[in-house]
Structure 1
Amino acid sequence: MYITQGLHRHMKERPDTIAVRYQGRSMTFAELGDRIARLAGALKTLGMASGDCVAMLSRNSQRYIEYVFGVPWADGVLNPVNTRWSVAEIVYSLDDSGSTVLIVDDTFAEMGQAILEQAKTIRTLIYAGDGETPAGMLSYEALLAAAEPIADTRRGGDALLGIFYTGGTTGFPKGVMISHNNLAFAGFSSMSKGLFDRHSVYLHAMPMFHLADFSALYCLTVSGGVHVPMPAFSGEAAVQAIVDEQITEMLLAPTMIQMMLDARIASPALATVDLDSVRHIVYGASPISPTLLDRACEAFPRAAFFQGYGMTELTTIGTTLAPEYHNEEHHHSGKMYSAGTAGACVEVRIVDTDDNEVPRGTIGEIAVRGPNVMLGYWNKPEATAEVLRDGWMHTGDGGYMDTEGFVFIVDRLKDMIVSGGENIYSAEVETAIASHPAVAQCAAIGIPHDKWGETVHAVVVLKPGHNASEDDIVNHCRERIAGYKCPRSVEFRSSLPLSGVGKILKNELRKPYWEGRKRNIA
């Protein structure tokens, strides 16, 4: 398998069919293929050798799609850069991967100059923006115009496709090595569930540097649908894009769904727009509260909802909850709020600390095995050996499996709160808090306590125009969960710190409380 296979098929069978719509412009498969071949030719002219890493620091765009296919077309390796990182974190990832070329857009042109001064391995900086090319950079468009298109090397199989860096908030990032086969098997697992076809119009709302959107990009190209890149996400812009582009498919984090629904409430103009074009919504990256899921189902009545559970190390695919479980029957059975069952060609089991599979219904660590599991961490053999044991990827997520193979996520093991010897799963506390009608977002963390070790602290964002006190939140929780699980303190904020894909950064919330202290949990 190789990433450009689907592109070649549609270039031959449907050359004049629209492949990309971006900022009022359309591009056919033939035009897209020509630009990709020219980008590959330009990279070779610049001295890119087989297996060299090429990095891109950019918002979502048509040129990002060209980068994704153009680098492996030239027999190179991708290094999509996290746009939320600092210069220091980016420089580390570039030097660690040995990236020789960095492509930046308008948003990151100035940062690119600072990176070039500090990075040891970057020798070429390419400007992929729409303005005047800054000094010291090469123009992306000028390079393509001057380059001869070259034949696809068809780099594929178990060859390295890309290094996708994770972390960067608690120490050095880890580079996850993903092969062409990893991506292909993960993609076909998604498509086996009925996602993507030639009629799909997909909104790239997630950042393209993230492997979740990257995987969707691959699936859509194999299927022959239309890419609609969204440079920067906002709830208002996403709703408007659905209307303007007649979007059929989306991949969203729960926080993004929340922002879209809130945008409709805040704007009379958006409250009544027709969203019936949306037929598939995949949600993941973090747990979704039952209240938010119910709101989403109501807002998109014609959409089939899928939940995807996974991680970068699994090429995003672990389990899937199919649309038929998003209904009233399974609201009551509880399956609507599970992470679903193992993806195609994937095995999942729940293990204890000795890697023994635990009985059904018992909480342990989720372990996954299959052709989607990463090759390992770049330059980190010890870290690889720690999580990859006997072919099983140990996720660090706590959960249990019912008798029908449905997996229920209870928490990241590192986010578990231990108070007075009792294990408290933050996700359970957050579900109780989120059901309060005034709550828009929340996070539950453990903070130090001299007697109990840790106590539950809630950080809450209220909906616009709503009010609630600390006592309101605590009393609301007492009606739903055991007293020892309820928050002992509540903090109200206007927003929560989020990663580039909408995950709440709990380590940032914990940091002020644990400065100079050591947690019992990593």
Structure 2
Amino acid sequence: MGTWEKNTFGYRLEMMDRIIPNRTAIIQGEKRFTFGEMNGRINTLANALIDLGVKKGDRVAYMLYNCNESMETQYAAFKMGAVAVNVNASYLGDEILYLLQNSGAKVLVLDEDAVERAKKIRSDAKTVEQYIVVGKKVPADMLGYDDLLMKYPTKLELPWDVKSKDLCFLYYTGGTTGLPKGAMYTQEARMVGMEDTLIEVLVTHNLKTIADAPKEAIETIGMTAEKVIRPILPIPGISKLIGSILGNNIVRQALKSSLVQEIAKRLVEPLFSSPAILMYLVGGRLKSLVPVPLYHAAGWQIAFMFMDLLGAADLFPANGKFDPKEVWELCDKEKPWYIVSIGDATAKPLAEELEKSYQEGRPYDTSSLFIFGGGGAPFSPKWKKMLIRRMPGILIADTIGSTETPMTVGKMSTASDKTEELEKITLKVNPKDRYFPIRVVDPLTREDVKPGSGEVGTMCYGSKYLFSGYWNDPEKTEKVFFEKDGKRWFDLGDMVTVDEDKYIHFLGRGSEVIVTGGEKVYAEEVETAIEAYPKVAHAGVFGIPDERWGEAVTAGVELKPGEKASEEEIIDHVKGKLARYKNPKRVFFFDKLPLTTTAKVLRRKAREMVIDRIEEEKK
């Protein structure tokens, strides 16, 4: 019988089943599963996959919105030693086909609403042997998820061992060519990366926030801390006790010390690496609300991190999709401690719905919330202020990272922050940091950018728990990794400067990459889709600053001689080819677009033309 090494998902699942089997693990609508029930379902699915011919190292793809089946599918793959492959649930034919072909997926688990999309590419997806459908509408030539769970035992006995160094995840992100790249993660890299993130979120940045907060904010911070502690240790008056301790000047000065922060990290680290005590105390009593997709790095990290390290329950919207009204209704009803958002794309509608509820005299109960966390893109000060006004005890966490790296907190905002403080991302260059070593280098020479020089460099992250590289793409892997000072570094590609105090200032990402609502969109992919329309001669695609999306996908189009087309016509054409978030929000027509010698649109100049047109519209 096979076993699981310590830093594996199977090891953690067995621990949760042993310590907190009757505590709530997942809540979605009327569905509730305990950790014991969840682990039993995971074991059953793993047994089914093994019987279907899936072996250690085989790829199991999933194309699902947020649901217990998505968690179970990933956990089953991790636990049995297979490799999970994320497929964006909004992808269409060619997008789905590319991921299945590139990963060599053996199984695809999909929602019943995606069956027709899968049928269109099935004959070309040669490696996929089985399609498992979640839902009641299961075609005769596919397998039903629920049917499989009824046929196999809830005890898993593996014919092989699962080790911490085993590959467990292909997390697909974009590439500069517009084609997704599969970031390879081992069991250990995922697990320890989550531990490092949690130490940063709950220790480092909370200590900094407390140390820097004005005295009038300490009482609020004490009340905020009580939100987490109360469900675990219901001690009367704990917020006053916390407030009095944190309000002490000696304590506050001590918290500013890097030595004290390092000691705190070292003390907390064993609790996360061997979390039996934390699981017993926290298990099921804290709930993480995850209304953003699990196939997005931010949603995935929160759903798995707090469950695997604390035994916290995951709370999903009833239909698995984002709806701001339902998010606050769930907050009111289920009392979560954490909400995850993808930049302004979801923070804006959440802030507006919360504000609307107060104006209409039907405010939601948000008293349980401790952290409103981000991912994909920082929050704008406007939405931070709106959220804090209605939730003065909340901590707002701007996180930095990518699909290829764990998340780290770039800024923890509170009600005590002034507007200029809300705008800052307080991330520092610190190449020797134990958990999140960061440096900024010249992208060509890999030499460190001198603080205060004004030079533009790229931000790099170094750790022994980085992703292993890109699946079947050694050339791309070689470009993004380099060795320096005896450590392996990953170049995130974020263009930044470093001030004289070593704080990092973000300038954005390359002109070919558009970050819209926390999702990466690659200009070339959208341009190809637009230029496939018979009336179009040339298309240039780029991002334009947008209040909600961060950047709005925008196109400049040159039609063929004698042709006429409308903005809606072009957008409708793209809708049938790409996922919705990649569709242009605006299309502008020009008689001539500036071209390179190879007949490619000069995006920078085309973007300037569009900006000029937008300014003219405002007059």
TM-score range normalised by the length of the shorter chain: 0.7 to 0.9
Specify the alignment match of 1:368 in structure 2: 461
User: Percent identity among equivalent residues?
Assistant: 22
Q: Determine if contact 1:21/1:227 at 8 Å carries over to the other structure.
A: yes
- One-letter amino acid of the counterpart of residue 311, structure 1: S
Aligned to 1:420: none
> Within the alignment, does 1:233 sit opposite 2:319 as a pair?
no
1:262 aligns with 2:352: yes
Output the aligned Cα RMSD.
3.5
Query: Displacement, 1:45?
Result: 0.6
Equivalent position of 2:140 in the other structure = 135
Aligned to 1:379: 472
Identify the residue that residue 476 of structure 1 maps to in structure 2.
none
User: What corresponds to 1:294 in structure 2?
Assistant: 385
Q: State how 1:120-519 maps to structure 2 within 5 Å.
A: 120-129=126-135, 131-148=136-153, 149-151=155-157, 155-167=162-174, 171-195=178-202, 197-198=282-283, 199-222=285-308, 223-230=310-317, 231-253=320-342, 254-266=344-356, 272-314=363-405, 316-317=406-407, 319-323=408-412, 326=414, 328=416, 331-332=419-420, 336-339=424-427, 345-352=435-442, 353-361=444-452, 362=454, 363-390=456-483, 391-414=488-511, 458=544, 460=546, 516-519=599-602
- Which residue of the partner structure matches residue 433 of structure 1? none
Cα gap change, 1:36/1:514 in structure 2, threshold over 3 Å: closer, same or farther?
farther
SS of aligned partner of 1:193:
helix
Contact 1:264–1:270 under 8 Å retained in 2: no
SS of corresponding position for 1:371:
coil
Offset of residue 264 of structure 1: 3.3
For 1:147 and 1:394, how far apart are their aligned partners in 2? 45
One-letter code of the match for 1:300? M
TM superposition shift of 1:305: 1.7
Partner of 2:94: 88
Distance, in Å, in 1 between the alignment partners of 2:510 and 2:583 is 13
Q: Deviation string for 1:404-423 (max 9, x for gaps)?
A: 5432212113369xxxxxxx
Output the CA distance in 1 between the equivalents of 2:149 and 2:361: 40
Please give the alpha-carbon distance, in whole angstroms, between the structure 2 residues aligned to 1:116 and 1:229. Answer: 30
Q: 1:389 to 1:233 in 2, by over 3 A?
A: same
- Structure 2 regions of 5+ residues with no counterpart? 1-6, 203-227, 229-281, 524-539, 550-566, 606-619
Q: How much has 1:505 moved relative to structure 2?
A: 5.7
Greater CA drift, 187-196 or 273-282 = 187-196
Q: Retained in 2: the 8 A contact 1:71–1:78?
A: yes
* Shift in Å, 1:283: 1.0
What are the Cα deviations for residues 433-480 of structure 1, in whole angstroms up to 9, with x where unaligned? xxxxxxxxxx9x9xxxxxxxx9x99565699xxxxxxxxxxxxxxxxx
Deviation at 1:29, TM superposition (A): 1.0
| Aligned mates of 2:121, 2:499 — CA distance in 1 | 49
The CA distance in 2 between the partners of 1:45 and 1:332, in whole Å, is 59
**Contact map agreement 1:2 1:154 (CA 8 A) in 2:** no
Question: Cα deviations across residues 203-255 of structure 1 (Å, max 9, x unaligned)?
Answer: 12121112322222221222111111230002112122211221211221121
Q: Deviations over 1:134-188 (max 9, x none)?
A: 2211111111111123236662422111111112795321111111122112211
How far has the Cα of 1:55 moved from its partner?
0.6
Q: Which moved more, 1:260-269 or 1:51-60?
A: 260-269
Matches within 5 A, 1:48-87: 48-87=54-93
Q: Does the Cα contact within 8 Å between 2:381 and 2:423 map onto a contact in 1?
A: no
The change in CA–CA distance for 1:369 and 1:510 in structure 2 (over 3 A counts) is: farther
Distance 1:208 1:331 in 2: 32
Q: Name the CA shift for 1:92/1:29 in 2 (closer, same or farther; >3 Å).
A: same
Structure 2 CA distance for aligned equivalents of residues 61 and 310 of structure 1: 24
**Do the aligned partners of 1:202 and 1:228 also contact (CA within 8 Å) in 2?**
yes
Q: What is the CA distance between 1:506 and its match in structure 2? A: 9.9
Give the Cα–Cα distance (whole angstroms) in 1 for the partners of residues 121 and 326 of structure 2: 30
What's the counterpart of residue 217 of structure 2? none
Is 1:10 the counterpart of 2:19? The answer is no
AA of the residue aligned to 2:298:
A
The answer to whether the 8 A contact 1:346-1:371 is kept is no
Q: CA deviation at 1:124?
A: 0.5
Question: Shift of residue 275 of structure 1?
Answer: 1.3
CA distance in 2, matches of 1:65, 1:404: 42
Deviation readout 1:378-406 (Å, 9 max, x if unpaired): 11111111111112111111112345543
What secondary structure is seen at the aligned counterpart in 1 of 2:9? Answer: coil
For the residue of structure 1 that corresponds to 2:38, the secondary structure is helix
The separation in 2 between residues aligned to 1:503 and 1:326, in whole angstroms, is 34
Q: Deviations over 1:48-82 (max 9, x none)?
A: 11110011111110111111111122221000111
CA deviation after TM superposition for structure 1 residue 337, in Å: 3.7
Aligned length: 451
Conserved? CA contact 1:58–1:107, under 8 Å: no
Q: Is the contact between residue 348 and residue 548 of structure 2 (CA under 8 Å) also seen in structure 1?
A: no
1:47 shift after superposition? 0.7
8 Å contact 2:176–2:512 — kept in the other structure? no
Partner of 1:475: none
Deviations 1:1-56 (A, max 9, x none): 11233222121111111111122121111111111111000000101111100111
Aligned equivalents of 1:329, 1:97: Cα separation in 2: 46
Deviates more, 1:235-244 or 1:111-120: 111-120
More helix by share: 2
Counterparts in 2 of 1:374 and 1:43: CA distance versus 1, 3 Å: same
Q: TM-score scaled to structure 2, two decimals?
A: 0.66
Q: Which sections of structure 1, spanning at least 5 residues, go unmatched?
A: 417-425, 431-442, 446-453, 464-490
Q: TM-score under structure 1 normalisation?
A: 0.77
1: CA distance, partners of 2:441 / 2:584: 25
User: Alignment partner for residue 31 of structure 1, among 5, 30, 37?
Assistant: 37
- 2:394 alignment partner AA: A
Aligned partners of 1:166 and 1:173 also within 8 Å: yes
Which residue of structure 2 lines up, in the alignment, with residue 97 of structure 1?
103
SS state at 1:26 partner = strand
Taking a change above 3 Å as real, the CA distance of residues 341 and 214 of structure 1, as seen in their structure-2 partners, is farther
Cα displacement (A) at 1:507: 8.5
Q: Classify 1:188/1:459 alpha carbon distance in 2 versus 1 (closer, same or farther; 3 Å).
A: closer
Note if 1:21 corresponds to 2:30: no
Report how far residue 117 of structure 1 moved.
2.8
Q: Secondary structure at the match of 2:8?
A: coil
SS in 1 for 2:150: helix
C-alpha separation in 2, matches of 1:508 and 1:340: 35
CA distance in 2, matches of 1:269, 1:21: 29
Deviation for aligned residue 1:266: 4.7
Aligned counterparts of 2:14 and 2:73: Cα–Cα separation in 1: 16
Of 283-292 and 252-261, deviating more is 283-292
C-alpha distance in 1, partners of 2:196/2:547? Answer: 36
